Structure 1
Amino acid sequence: MMVALVTAQFRRAKEQFDSPCLELYEHLLPIYNQSCDVNTESAALRLICEKLQFVSVEDIKQESIAIHKMILDGYGVFEKSADFENTQGLSIVLKKIEDFLLKESENNGGGCVEKTTQVLSRRDLPSHTDETCVKLCCQSLVVPEEFRCPISLELMKDPVIISTGQTYERACIKKWLDAGHRTCPITQQILSSTILIPNHALYSLISNWCEANGVEPPRTRRLGNFWICKETSDGSSELINLDTLIRKLTSSYIEDQRFAAGELRILAKHADQNRILIGEAGAIPLLVDLLYIPDAGTQEQAVTALLNLSIYDGNKERIMASEAVPGILHVLKNGSMQARENAAATFFSLSKADENKVVIGASGAINALVALFGEGSQRGKLDAATALFKLCFIHGNKGRAIKAGIVPKLVEMLTEPDEEMRDGALAIISLIVSHPDAIEAFRSTYAIPILVEFISNGSSKNKENATSVLLYLCRGDPCYLLIVASLGVISPLSELAENGSERGKRKAAQLLELLGIAVAAGADSKGYDLTVHY
């Protein structure tokens, strides 16, 4: 692709290149303009080969294949019909370079090398061109640098942002990524994500510049007149213009923003196809911006829309790439109760991936979730509990939760009449008890008798979890052993060891072994404090 890029880019932006590049351009252009039957000086071809690092016919073969692919794809440096007419010249250049390399190889004793390059003819080209391409009204019009794609140097029609913050034409950066590259072409930074986020602000500036300079504005394929289906309350369907909703998200009127976020929330609630389309349309970064709006209603609609969109796994990556975590945390701390509940649920949804658990935990979200767990509505507590449970699969998040004071709140929840709350609290305890700080945190609670009660009368799952927690506590502090033994746990543990699940049997047998050793060795229990703390 080097030849294609050199010829196309130099023609568009000759003034932007340094002297060595201009020298290459001056040598390449005459050959490009020659017919195939004109002999070209070997010195010029040798210079071009050195500059472009062509050393074998295989290099030319790869260039020829690349040009064919770019033509068939219908975009990149061949996107406009004028470029299609110039492919003959590119092929002539390649053929002359190939003939030169073959001759050099023969002169150097390399023998005969198979020829691979064929001159492209008009019949090799697609029978149609892209009628939606941007057509500049005057070749002398200077396009602002920030409006050009760094890859193609063309005026961008569909600018998108990659994870490093750089903006490119969608078609160009997509070809770069599709070729297997995972770095930014400009900065060479490794990409944390391959998600492409539409740059609406730049797209708007380009459109305004085109109108002001008499240039046909870009017609992006991204949205246009794009309609998606919305189910109404009476069971019928209604078509909604997605482009209109996207524009309203950036409106200067808060009512428009709230309405658009609310519509997107509804559209993303049930239909996975809608979630995909909304995500690809670029709504996510605009919804993230609305998380900081002081209007409580808009905040709630925006965070709920993100929650619904996150159900589709592809949008989880888009949400994280849009740096949404600080905004969701802002709502979790400062929003209405319903908005806080949905922010917690969004963190739960995003924490499916381990790398997201780390980012969310490091953001300070654990403290805010623990606060909601303690003071929220019943639903808020459940949403916080499910998010904390997911996040605490990461060891560092266990320590954060313990330091945020979650242990006393969890023990208190173990006595809740709501079964779902009890089950959730015990599940979280079973996760965090393995952290070194857990032993000390449980010391000042009345957890031991409650856990013994779960082993005696709880569900199968709760019996397993309670046994696992007691096993950790007793291993961490021998003082707990005789306390547990004194509460009549031996019989229900023996039952679990006989009839429980494989995990239940194993945990019960291990705890019974510890208790047997303690009881046998410690009938004399002078060294132990048998007080149960309440």
Structure 2
Amino acid sequence: MGSGKHRWKISIYRSTGKPETRNPNPPTEFICPISGLLMADPVIVSTGQTFERACVTACKTLGYNPILKDGSIPDLSIVIPNLALKSSIFNWARASMTDPPKAVELADALKLVRPAMAENGEIENGVLGELLIGRVEEDNRGSNLLEHAESELTRRQTGFDSCESLSGSFRKTPLALATRPSCYSSCSSSSELDAPAVGACEDGEEYVGKLRSSHVYEQEQGVVGLRKATRSSEDLRLSLCTPRLLSALRPLITSKYNNIQINSVAALVNLSLQKLNKVKIVRAGFVPLLIDVLRGRFPEAQEHACGALFSLALDDANKTAIGVLGALQPLVHIMIRSESERARHDAALALYHLSLVQSNRLKLVKLGSVQLFLGMVKSGQMPGRALLILCNLAACNEGRGAMLDAGAVEFFVGLLREGGFDSESTRESCVAAISALSYGGGLRFRGLAKAAGAVEVLRDVAEQTGRERARDKARRVLEILKAREEEEEEDVDWEKVLELGFPSRTLTRVGGQSCRNSSEF
């Protein structure tokens, strides 16, 4: 009888209400921009957009940054559960008598993301590694890094996407050629040629035995064999990166013998090329050892250590850990002081990726790196790389403040006025740095920009021939400067205020005593 009464109530509710529409269209904000489905487990990413959790995981697994309909590229490095939106979605489903959404499985999310990658001409990480191995050549290292710097500028996420005037600054899909450190090469190093050769073997236990041997000769054989085996075989990189082998390799990273240290760090670079290995290596405790190598006395080992940190920093899950473990300061030192071009370039690229994380930006600012990087730009020492890092640092309030204190606005405007950049990408990075400093349109930036004559210079950039991205950034900064001027003109008539004086106001002190706030004291 209870059940009958319950059914009768439902019948009355339906008959007395307005006609219901089955499965109405949900609000747009309830739909995942990647899957196009109603979200069951929505998460907010670093740049403020909300996606289905499985779709974010699928994009990170495949190394894919989706381009949204508005042209923005979300930063998927950090995800936070959007509990409020989840509750709204389920309440809407209940009210509209729609089946509640079910969480998307990772396998299904991968199937949804792959067609989008193919449509944008991108290749997932596993296939990409095989295609790039033959393209990263020792003699062409400089041009590869230039393409990397140019492409990474286009994918940089600074949290400005919520600002309409800046959200379209970085829309181009990044080039894929920047997934290898410059120390990785198909050519053998001198230390590897001098060491005894050993055939590659797929049995990880054989390498473990040699690496753990008490004889230096066998240790050297083990690291050289491991380096050669993992240089070109993706399958071996994955199968050999086990806790046992990493444990055996770890003490050799800081070996006192030159060839053993160099080849062990180089083998670690090869292992780190696979995305699935990057987090394993960091969790196995290699970052403090690589920092010791950076501070050591073997220049070639330092090159490979910079390459290893750059490769590990490509994984978003490692960025914060690498910064916490203390890699930022030695990387800055290598970037500025090292005599090795390869070490400087890989250190710069490692710092670029690490500075995509807010905590690392703050650490770099506290280390005084803003002044150091500005000095590098002034001296012409890797100005393109230094500008890219400065653009990242300008994404936080502390970084912008330090750059404004150091006279960055006047300096960047002067660079644009004088010209003479080593490449068009460096010129674009300079415009991007000014654009980053203009975020929020603060009075201080506006005053410094006016004093430096930024309006005239940026107007020239916006009208000249060159890259469309640089012209767009220049136009956006001009719009911000113009908008601030119009707001001030409308809000305050300074001449009238000076003529009439400031109106007096009655303020109440603690305890109820009043006082006059006027020109009378």
TM-score by length of 1: 0.48
Structure with more contact order per residue of length (Cα contacts < 8 Å, sep ≥ 6): 2
TM-score of the pair, normalised by structure 2? 0.49
